[in-house]
Amino acid sequence: MNMVKNLGKTNSPTQIREKRKMQKTIISTAKAPAAIGPYSQAVRVGDMLYTSGQIALNPETMEVIAGGIVEQSKQVLDNLVQVLAAAGADINSVVKTTCFLSDMNHFADFNEIYATYFSQQPPARSCVEVSRLPKDVLVEVEAIAMITS
């Protein structure tokens, strides 16, 4: 029987296989904006996916899209959908989002767009106003998703 010692504890082959499932995998796609700093678009650990915050960048030009909160919210969520897809997940896999708004007066407009993406069994969510976001965008959204495939 193949056993591995770890800090005085013995692991069974099943435990070893489970630990291997928990390895960290970096997720990257050209269909969403490239990271603009030292971070990954998303990281998968086991069956969980943790995305970095998505902002309203056009993935092809890496420029902030024109428009207000409605246009930026759509771009942010489109970018998020692409990152999820690159990891084998989709919008219905999301269990939690954290949403950052540059102005809480945008909350109603943001919510209207957000609801079109998360129309069935919406995830848990936090939504906060922050003093400033990268590239002075109006909104940023990060997510945690469960990968079932």
Q: Which residues are catalytic?
A: 127
**Which neighbouring-strand residues pair with 57?**
64
Nearest partner of 140 among 92, 91, 72, judged by Cα: 72
Residue 43, SS3 per DSSP: strand
Q: Is the dihedral of CA 79, 84, 85, 86 positive or negative?
A: positive
Residue 39 — φ and ψ, nearest 5°? -150, 170
Which residues neighbour 15 within 8 Å (Cβ) at sequence distance 6 or greater?
Answer: none
Which residues neighbour 120 within 8 Å (Cβ) at sequence distance 6 or greater?
Answer: 92
Contact yes or no for 99/128 (Cβ under 8 A): yes
